Structure 1
Amino acid sequence: MLVALTVATSVAALALAAWCGFAAYRDQPTKDWHFIGMGVVTLLALVQLIVGVVQLARGEDPEQGTTIFVAYLIGSFACVPAAGFMSLGERTRWGSLTVAAGGVVLAVLEVRLYDIWGG
């Protein structure tokens, strides 16, 4: 697992969470630029998914099991898009808060991925 990619994804997810949390504090729904930020974070999670699958294909094994590692990879990739989709249904401050919660969840999933790999 690439530690730098895990850290970058976690930091980007927490920055997105802070940004959307501030928008919720200001009583604003998610805007277009929030969705651009979600796209960047999702792209980082996609790169991590690809890197994880490639490492598994090369024969490297996570310390705590391949199945749980792949499940966490898929979950971390789907976390922010799912929160963004739910924020479209709630065009109030609660939509922004949903994306902020998705960013925090992604950061926690990244820490868990690092632990599963054997970090």
Structure 2
Amino acid sequence: MILGLTIAIVVVALAAGALNLVLGLLGKAPNDLSLGALALVELALIAQVVTAIVAPLVGNPPSGNPIEFWAYLIAAVVIPVLAVFWALGERNRWGTVVLGIAALAIAVMVWRMQIIWTVQLA
């Protein structure tokens, strides 16, 4: 993994999470801004998937367990999609809060993926 990409994804996810939590706690239902913030996180995760596929091919394999890494990455890619379905099904303030919690969870998961890729030994 690329540290810069990891930091960028974590920052975007934290910003999206904070935005959605604030909007939800202010009583706002899911809207274009809240859903767009999570879409930006999903786009960044897709870039991470591409990086995770290409990196081992160019000589940057994970030092940790690749199965654990891919489990985190697949879960991280699925979480925003499920959160959006939940938020659209529950169009009130709590749907927006769910979007925020999903984004914050992704920030933690992406940082954990960085640790698996660079720090741990298989």
Output the CA distance in 2 between the equivalents of 1:39 and 1:6.
Answer: 17
Secondary structure in structure 1 of the residue aligned to 2:63: coil
Q: Which residue of 2 aligns with 1:76?
A: 76
Q: One-letter code of the match for 1:40?
A: L
* Partner residue in 1 for 2:2: 2
Q: Deviations over 1:6-46 (max 9, x none)?
A: 11111101111111111111111110122221111111110
Unaligned residue ranges in structure 2 (runs of 5+): none
Measure how far apart 1:51 and its partner are: 0.3
State the match for 1:105 in structure 2. 105
User: Percent identity between the aligned chains?
Assistant: 29
Residue type at the aligned position of 2:105? V
* Alignment map for 1:1-119 (pairs within 5 Å): 1-58=1-58, 60-119=60-119
Contact 1:52 1:73 in 2 (8 A): no
RMSD (Å) for aligned C-alpha atoms? 1.3
CA drift at 1:58: 3.7
> Mind listing any 5+ residue stretches in structure 1 that lack a counterpart?
none
One-letter identity of the residue aligned with 2:5: L
Partner amino acid, structure 1, of 2:43: L
Number of residue-to-residue matches in the alignment: 119
Counterpart CA distance in 1 for 2:69 and 2:56 is 10
Q: Which consecutive aligned stretches of 4+ in structure 1 deviate over 6 angstroms post-superposition?
A: none
Specify the code of the residue in structure 2 equivalent to 1:14: L
Give the TM-score, by structure 2 length.
0.90
Shift of 1:59: 5.1
In the superposition, the TM-score normalised over structure 1's length comes to: 0.92
Per-residue deviation, residues 41-84 of structure 1 (Å, max 9, x unmatched): 11111001110011133454312211111111111222222211
- What SS does the aligned partner of 1:64 have? coil
Contact 1:9 1:107 in 2 (8 A): yes
